[in-house]
Amino acid sequence: MSITKNNYEMLMSSMLETGSLVIPDLLLKFYSRLGLTENEMMVLIHLIHWRQIEHERFPTPEKLSQYMTISEEEIKNIIASLIEKKFLTVEPYYSSILNRWQNAFSFSNLWSKLSQEALGDSDHSSNILENDEIATTNSDIGEVYSTFEKEFGRPLSPLENEQLREWCRNSKLSLELIHEALKRAVLRGALNFRYIDSILRDWQHHNIRTVAEAINHDEKKNKKKVRRSRSETRVTKKGKYDDLYRLVP
């Protein structure tokens, strides 16, 4: 069946309105060398789609899941994994349309790694997945991000994302300690990253690695406070009686 000029124009118009997605050739060639899984690769492609076609720089896992066969939770874990592996970063972006700052996924690290891979930088390739003694799985890290966003009731800011990523990469901090610090911040009505960081720093200073050790540490501090308070009370009382019975020359 021959295509008439009118049908051809309609077809071309439809294709142009739908838009075309540009995927870098290097990404298709070298993603496996970088250690990217098939699911991670598909999430990246969809993020690129939302950037190029939908003009959205920070799509939610819910939006991504509309066009994928994996769940919203799995997508959230994969994004956390990509951030952990330093393929993605979250950076501030000023929207001239909305006239405000927003979060945006940045692919700069990914493009840099691809370029070095293409140039044959074997040293960079061997170190592409920096471990930094992290003993956590992708799902565990994703759960941490999910818990923080749930407690804060909003997406984390770029600075908060970076801070949380540093905690997760710290070999001296287990995920259970990070969860415990968040729990204490919630219970004490001090839900902010500065307070949580102060708790974690104190635990690191005292070489605390588990929640049980943290609880024991708190009990010791409380006992010291009680003893100090009693000692000050005794000193105060003694001073009062001394003044009472002191002979005036």
Q: How far apart are CA 97 and CA 13, in angstroms?
A: 27
End-to-end CA distance of the chain: 126
Query: Does residue 220 fall inside a structural domain?
Result: no
> Which domain covers residue 58, as residue numbers?
20-130
Mean pLDDT of 166-185: 89
* Contact by Cβ (8 Å): 108, 14: no
| Three-class SS state of 208 | coil
- 237 compared with 211, residue with greater pLDDT: 211
Q: What CATH number does residue 100 fall under? A: 1.10.10.10
Mean pLDDT of 46-72: 91
Query: Does residue 104 fall inside a structural domain?
Result: yes
In the chain, the number of structural domains is 1
Mean pLDDT of the chain: 79
Q: How far apart are CA 15 and CA 168, in angstroms?
A: 44
* Contact by Cβ (8 Å): 156, 149: yes
Please tell me the pTM assigned to this model: 0.46
pLDDT above 70 coverage of the chain, percent:
75
Query: Does residue 97 fall inside a structural domain?
Result: yes
* Per-residue confidence (pLDDT) for residue 128, from 0 to 100: 45
Condensed to tens digits (0 to 9), the pLDDT of residues 222-234 reads 787 777 766 665 5
Strands 100-106 and 89-95: antiparallel
Query: Does residue 95 fall inside a structural domain?
Result: yes
Condensed to tens digits (0 to 9), the pLDDT of residues 8-53 reads 666 656 655 556 778 888 888 888 888 899 999 999 999 999 988 8
pLDDT above 90 coverage of the chain, percent:
25
Enclosing H/E stretch for 90:
strand 89-95
Does 76 score more than 90 pLDDT? yes
Condensed to tens digits (0 to 9), the pLDDT of residues 120-161 reads 654 444 454 444 444 445 557 777 877 888 888 887 777 888
Does 70 score more than 50 pLDDT? yes
Tokens, residue 221: 């501090």
Query: Does residue 70 fall inside a structural domain?
Result: yes
Tokens, residue 209: 């690695």
The length of the chain is 249
Query: Does residue 59 fall inside a structural domain?
Result: yes
* Per-residue confidence (pLDDT) for residue 14, from 0 to 100: 63
